[in-house]
Amino acid sequence: MMFTKSTSLVSLVASISFLTLASPAPTKLEVRQDSEDHSWAKGSYIAIVGARNECLSPATSGSDTNANATEGTKVEAVQCHMAATWSVPLVESGGAIVHEDSGLVIDLGQNVNNGNLTLQTFSGDDQTQIFNYGADNRLSNNATGKCIDRGDDGLQIYDCRPNNVNQVWLIRTTPEAKALDDDAPTRSDASSSNSDLKYIQPKERKDLCISTISDGSSIQSNAGVALTYCAGSESSDSGNSTSADLMQWSLSGKEPGQVKLGSSGLCLETGGNVINSYGYEELTVVNAMGVRMATCDDQAPGQKWSSDQFMLKSAIEKTGVSMDPPRSVEADHD
């Protein structure tokens, strides 16, 4: 890996949010019929981060993931190649998570911590059926603020905790994680017209960049970041902007500092406040914790990063956690 005036090559985080949109929330199932509506991720698998390779699906008695999917069917985590597909709301205010074969939605009912999730008919106004897919890759319920959690005994609803990666879910279009090289045609390298700003890219993939995601409106604090094709290297029909302004960064050096998005006043931030063994809140970061945009604050420890020729590393004390590449991206150690 090396840094140049036109590009900066650093390792990438695998758990970053793919989409964070800011349009009104769809709460009626009719929006699923509109192929131009980008407020839903349709035909999607909902996969837990980690080695389990599990996805959300109705509980079934056989290999057919849609068998017996009726009102009251329990939702569980199964091997992704056996899982069903969903329509997932991608708007900030949330929406219903729809099982595509039955049209039923995930419902937490009267459950609190450790409660099961079931499929129910969409009511239209019951907040126990409305979930938000946030920049931290969690599916939180509007009524309770609790998250869908893959616990030791199976799927449950539980208190959202920033250091609990059993609550981190990825929305994808295939049962298995797709390698970055799959079906990717050759594209031109990205280059920056501003020598003070750098792209953040994986080794030997100068067509890919770390980008803030925007639907064309101004970027807001708490927006997600994603690995996308660099500006101008691919035409996009997703409805999301891939402007160079969203992927050019001012990097820190070996001494901890901020990673600022151009001149936007927004910086990369990670970490969350967790109650430690002494009963006090403590900022921490763990593997698979998300990265987000936040208003730049010189005093915010979650915005302190150090960079060298190999990686971009969080400077939160005692973590040793860095932005790592997805499995399909080889880190450069030349």
Residue 299 lies in a domain: no
What CATH number does the domain containing 164 carry? Answer: 2.80.10.50
Length of the chain: 334
The span from the CA of 284 to the CA of 302, in Å, is: 9
The span from the CA of 153 to the CA of 128, in Å, is: 22
| Beta pairing partners, 154 | 151
Residue range of the domain that includes 104: 29-172
Q: What pLDDT digit, counting tens, does each position of 284-332 carry?
A: 777 777 788 899 999 998 999 988 767 888 888 655 455 554 433 333 3
pLDDT of residue 9: 28
The span from the CA of 178 to the CA of 324, in Å, is: 17
Tokens coding 67: 């068998």
Residue 96 lies in a domain: yes
Find all residues with CB under 8 Å of 193, minimum gap 6, and list them. none
pLDDT of residue 146: 92
Helix, coil or strand: residue 194: coil
Q: What are phi and psi of 59, to 5 degrees?
A: -65, 130
Statement: residue 235 has pLDDT above 70: no
Tokens coding 107: 């419902």
Residue 91 lies in a domain: yes
Residue 14 lies in a domain: no
pLDDT band at 181 (very low <50, low <70, confident <90, very high): low
Q: Which residue did the predictor score with more confidence, 99 or 219?
A: 99
Residue 100 lies in a domain: yes
In the chain, % helix, strand, coil (3-state, to 5) comes to 5, 30, 65
Q: What is the mean pLDDT of the chain?
A: 73
pLDDT of residue 318: 52
Q: What pLDDT digit, counting tens, does each position of 100-131 carry?
A: 999 999 998 776 667 789 999 998 878 999 99
Residue 137 lies in a domain: yes
Q: Mean pLDDT throughout 233-249?
A: 61
Handedness of CA 155, 160, 166, 172 (dihedral sign): positive
Q: What pLDDT digit, counting tens, does each position of 25-83 carry?
A: 333 343 333 445 568 889 999 999 866 789 999 987 555 555 678 999 999 999 999 99
pLDDT of residue 148: 95
Residue 179 lies in a domain: no
pLDDT of residue 313: 84
Total domain count, the chain? 1
Residue 221 lies in a domain: no
- pTM metric for this prediction: 0.63
Find all residues with CB under 8 Å of 243, minimum gap 6, and list them. 214, 231
